[in-house]
């Protein structure tokens, strides 16, 4: 980020005259004294960009997307593929994770067969919790957390919720209970990755009710407080914005419903009560199939449909949230990562890796089986967006993540996946139930 020199230039010109050109009665000593004061008041390395981040104490604040959540749960072998862990590898940093034992919390989903139709099932069993309960995690991101939660939600030590497993250990052994921001302040970070606000928008997808969106005034107050407190740690800060939630395959456009069912929207729309620009939630699909068998059941209920007008309200609110984030990035010389633009571009054009084009469709290679969180490859793409933001914002030269090897080993990147069309190509209702337990307050 370049520093603003307008103040200096508006006071003195190089020859000691004011900007109006009138003669100044400056002695050489006065000139040097004032110039020294002005330079001292500027940030370090002014004119050469911000100081380079120190990754010796990398700390992450965020939600499930920063925790390495995938396929509906937190699991050790998936957490290490999260974007934050990948960035730590690229910067040769140590980032202790709150690694969760198999089968994950909640139990992760696995792809038994790609079909069609795809066969998806959760891993059986019950997790015993953390691999490393005595190790302090530096990735503090809590699945389901919104911005206010990052400030105030602390572990309760009941260990029946994900917050306890991420933030409660090892603090429970000494009776210490802190929120994400409180832990970040305590851990003396040198660089902070902050990606918050996704759950202030995502709640609407689980309820079908736009009142689930966080009010803008509340969001701005909480977000501003989070950033100001983290800035006070002295760490270099990276902020990421919020994607358009309609690009994720958790919900399905009316146009895609039409393609999957194999009937034109002009026929299907009046039967279901949906039209161009509308979206349906996963809860809608059993109801759609029932209405195809028995049209007398009538239109879909409102709570499983987001109509075009509601979608515009959601997008406008996310745009407003992102203006708040951008403002805080500018104000605090933080690097800004534009995830919103990245996913819009991928939705429009796909993402080419080698000879394969990945898409944002369900089983399209970008998103995992829960339809919200990235695959290993998707997290690699997000990681590179963060690295580009760091390199641009702080004049660093961090090497980008090599996506080819990640894609090659990714069990959810299927050859020819972009050509699949099936009415079963969507998130299941069972997945919805699992996610609601974590994501909905």
User: Each residue of 348-378: pLDDT tens digit?
Assistant: 999 999 999 999 999 999 999 999 999 999 9
Q: Is the dihedral of CA 257, 309, 250, 436 positive or negative?
A: negative
| pLDDT score, position 22 | 36
How distant, in Å, are the alpha carbons of 77, 87, 226, 404 from that of 81?
Answer: 7, 10, 26, 14
pLDDT range class, residue 12, cuts 50, 70, 90: very low
> 422 pLDDT exceeds 70?
no
Residue range 37-66: mean pLDDT, rounded: 67
Mean pLDDT of the chain: 87
> 193 pLDDT exceeds 70?
yes
| pLDDT score, position 437 | 66
Lowest model confidence (mean pLDDT) among 135-144, 228-237, 361-370, 431-440: 431-440
> 3 pLDDT exceeds 90?
no
| pLDDT score, position 15 | 34
Q: What is the Cα–Cα distance from 419 to 359, expressed in whole angstroms?
A: 10
| pLDDT score, position 440 | 62
How does pLDDT run across 282-330, given as a tens digit for each residue?
999 999 999 999 999 999 999 999 999 999 999 999 999 999 999 999 9
pLDDT range class, residue 18, cuts 50, 70, 90: very low
Residue range 3-24: mean pLDDT, rounded: 34
| pLDDT score, position 47 | 33
What is the C-alpha end-to-end distance of the chain, expressed in Å?
37
> 429 pLDDT exceeds 70?
no
> 187 pLDDT exceeds 50?
yes
Q: Are 138 and 180 in contact (CB under 8 A)?
A: no
How does pLDDT run across 147-163, given as a tens digit for each residue?
999 999 999 999 999 99
Residue range 49-68: mean pLDDT, rounded: 89
pLDDT range class, residue 61, cuts 50, 70, 90: very high
Q: Delimit the domains of the chain by residue range.
A: 6-41, 55-248+328-439
Q: Are 306 and 281 in contact (CB under 8 A)?
A: yes
> 430 pLDDT exceeds 70?
no
Q: Which residues contact 248 (CB under 8 A, 6 or more apart)?
A: 343, 360, 367, 371, 372
Q: What is the Cα–Cα distance from 139 to 167, expressed in whole angstroms?
A: 9
> 8 pLDDT exceeds 60?
no
Is CATH 3.40.50.300 what the domain over 55-248+328-439 is classified as, yes or no?
no
Q: Are 434 and 71 in contact (CB under 8 A)?
A: no
Q: Which residues contact 160 (CB under 8 A, 6 or more apart)?
A: none
Q: Are 362 and 426 in contact (CB under 8 A)?
A: yes
Query: Token pair for residue 119?
Result: 């066969």
| pLDDT score, position 78 | 98
| pLDDT score, position 436 | 64
Bigger pLDDT: 417 vs 54: 54
Residue range 126-130: mean pLDDT, rounded: 96
pLDDT range class, residue 441, cuts 50, 70, 90: low
Lowest model confidence (mean pLDDT) among 106-110, 427-431, 437-441: 437-441
Bigger pLDDT: 221 vs 49: 221
């Amino acid at each position: 980020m370049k520093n603003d020199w307008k103040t200096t230039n508006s006071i003195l010109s190089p020859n000691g005259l004011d900007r109006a050109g009138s003669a100044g009665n400056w002695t050489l000593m006065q000139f040097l004294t004032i110039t020294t004061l002005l330079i001292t008041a500027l940030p370090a390395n002014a004119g050469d960009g911000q100081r380079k981040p120190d990754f010796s104490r990398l700390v992450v604040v965020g939600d499930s997307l920063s925790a390495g959540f995938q396929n509906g749960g937190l699991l050790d072998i998936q957490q290490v593929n999260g974007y934050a862990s990948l960035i730590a590898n690229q910067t040769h940093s140590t980032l202790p994770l709150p690694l969760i034992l198999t089968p994950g919390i909640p139990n992760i989903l696995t792809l038994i067969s790609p079909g069609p139709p795809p066969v998806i099932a959760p891993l059986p069993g019950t997790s015993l919790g953390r691999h490393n309960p005595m190790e302090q995690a530096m990735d503090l991101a809590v699945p389901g957390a919104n911005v206010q939660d990052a400030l105030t939600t602390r572990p309760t030590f009941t260990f029946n919720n994900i917050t306890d497993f991420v933030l409660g250990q090892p603090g429970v052994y000494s009776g210490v209970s802190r929120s994400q921001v409180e832990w970040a302040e305590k851990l003396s970070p040198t660089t902070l990755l902050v990606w918050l606000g996704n759950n202030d928008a995502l709640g609407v997808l689980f309820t079908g009710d736009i009142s689930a969106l966080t009010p803008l005034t509340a969001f701005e107050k909480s977000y501003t407080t989070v950033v100001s407190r983290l800035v006070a740690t002295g760490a270099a800060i990276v902020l990421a914005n919020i994607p358009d939630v309609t690009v994720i395959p958790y919900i399905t456009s009316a146009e895609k419903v039409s393609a999957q069912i194999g009937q034109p929207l002009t026929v299907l729309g009046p039967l279901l009560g949906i039209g161009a620009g509308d979206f349906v939630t996963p809860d809608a699909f059993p109801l759609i199939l029932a209405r195809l068998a028995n049209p007398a059941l009538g239109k879909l209920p409102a709570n499983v449909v987001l109509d075009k007008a509601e979608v515009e309200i959601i997008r406008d609110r996310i745009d407003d949230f992102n203006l708040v984030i951008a403002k805080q990035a500018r104000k605090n010389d933080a690097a800004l990562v534009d995830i919103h633009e990245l996913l819009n571009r991928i939705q429009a054009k796909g993402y080419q890796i080698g000879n394969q084009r990945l898409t944002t469709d369900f089983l399209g290679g970008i998103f995992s089986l829960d339809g919200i969180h990235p695959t290993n490859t998707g997290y690699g793409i997000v990681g590179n967006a963060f690295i580009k933001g760091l390199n641009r914002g702080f004049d660093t030269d961090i090497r980008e993540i090599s996506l080819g090897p990640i894609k090659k080993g990714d069990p959810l990147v299927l050859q020819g996946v972009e050509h699949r069309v099936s009415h079963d190509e969507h998130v299941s209702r069972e997945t919805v139930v699992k996610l609601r337990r974590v994501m909905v307050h």
